[in-house]
Structure 1
Amino acid sequence: MISWDRCGDSTYIGILSGYEIDVLRSYVDGLAKLIDHHLSSFITAPDGTLWPSPELRQDLRIDTILRFELGQHEPDWVLSFSAGSCLSDISRQVQLMASALPASGGVVQLNSRDEADAWLRCISLVVATIATVADERGEVRGKPCEPTVAWLTEVWAGLHATLGSCTTSAPAG
């Protein structure tokens, strides 16, 4: 059972099992490695603009993340131009989420709306990337995605409901 509650104006408390925290940590770590790997291949122009390597858009997970963040119908040049700042921002959000995961136990304390929004954003991106790599049977490496997507959506929905109105998009699974 996942439970979220508000404590004051900007503190949010989540109760999850220790196992659920470990699972979230594995997904956040995977998202961080994916983003950081691709950010390390960017070239910085003299004006500070980050330009992606040509291989960036060949990774369907990154393409999904960029389209989720920047728009499904944006032309490729917009995605390429915006990729550096978008992925850098996501990297900061992933770090915020990771830092809020407890070392032990299942109590999560989010000390600001920014931390809560980072959780919503990162969970949405994980769900979107799972959907991208799933095969036609809805499986990844022979395991069904639906239970994981449903659980992540439950974590997201509980926090979203606790926050009240929010501009973060629901997970697309």
Structure 2
Amino acid sequence: MSVWDTCADGTLVGVMPSEEITCLRSYATGYVQLAEYGLRSCSWVEGHTVDSGRLFPGAAILDERIMAIVRANVPAESPDWEIALLAPDCLLEGIEAAERVRRTLPEHDSVVVLTAPEDFHAWSRLIGDVLAAIVPYAAGSSARTRQRAAETEDWLRSLREVVMPSAAAWGAR
């Protein structure tokens, strides 16, 4: 079980069991791999000015986990064409968040220190994206896999409840 406290300057300090740190690092690494897989079919299209352009999907995204992540980060009323157009940017932003979370995780001890608004937002983003991907991952799986997915969801939601107020407090500054 993790223990967290907020310092007077807004820094969030947590002591997490090494198993939880390892697990979160694994989710961040897995997220990057999944997002990079989703980006493989994308092509860069140059813009009309220097250093402009964007990634465009070259094929429909068929991985339900990736689609769940993208849908969790775009407005609910977005049509399919808009979701497809926003998917590459969404995945790139998710990769940035996952990599930032990995950098905040300690290598040799159990103390996690989140000091910047970007840290809080990265944690919130990664947790939200992993939660979005769990549902299609567990669907149709064995009862044991669904049970473990439910336990993971509970743990991630409790972790997000710690991080979200700090993210909101930094956003108000």
Give the TM-score category using the shorter length.
0.7 to 0.9
Alignment pair present for 1:82 and 2:86: yes
Q: Is the 8 A contact 1:4 1:14 kept in 2?
A: yes
Alignment pair present for 1:51 and 2:29: no
Q: Which amino acid aligns with 2:2?
A: I
Count of residues paired in the alignment: 166
Q: Is the 8 A contact 2:3 2:14 kept in 1?
A: yes
1:120 Cα deviation after fit: 0.9
Identity of aligned residues (%): 28
Q: TM-score, normalised by structure 2?
A: 0.85
1:137–1:62 Cα change, 3 Å: closer
1:88 Cα deviation after fit: 1.4
Structure 1 or 2: more helix by fraction: 2
Please give the per-residue CA displacement for 1:13-35, whole angstroms capped at 9, x wherever unaligned: 11110111001111111111111
Which ranges in structure 2 are unaligned for 5 or more consecutive residues?
Answer: 48-52
Q: Is the 8 A contact 1:13 1:109 kept in 2?
A: yes
Query: Which structure would you say has the larger Rg?
Result: 2
Q: Is the 8 A contact 1:14 1:109 kept in 2?
A: yes
Aligned equivalents of 2:75 and 2:11: distance in 1?
Answer: 31
1:126 Cα deviation after fit: 0.5
Considering only aligned residues, what root-mean-square deviation do their CA atoms show, in Å?
A: 2.3
**Superposition map of 1:123-162 within 5 A:** 123-135=127-139, 139=143, 141=145, 144-162=148-166
Q: 2:125 aligns with which of 121, 124, 132?
A: 121
Q: TM-score, normalised by structure 1?
A: 0.85
- What SS does structure 2 have at the residue aligned with 1:9? coil
Aligned equivalents of 1:141 and 1:77: distance in 2?
Answer: 33
Q: Which amino acid aligns with 1:15?
A: V
Q: Is the 8 A contact 2:65 2:136 kept in 1?
A: yes
Q: Is the 8 A contact 1:138 1:145 kept in 2?
A: no
Q: Which residue of 2 aligns with 1:62?
A: 66
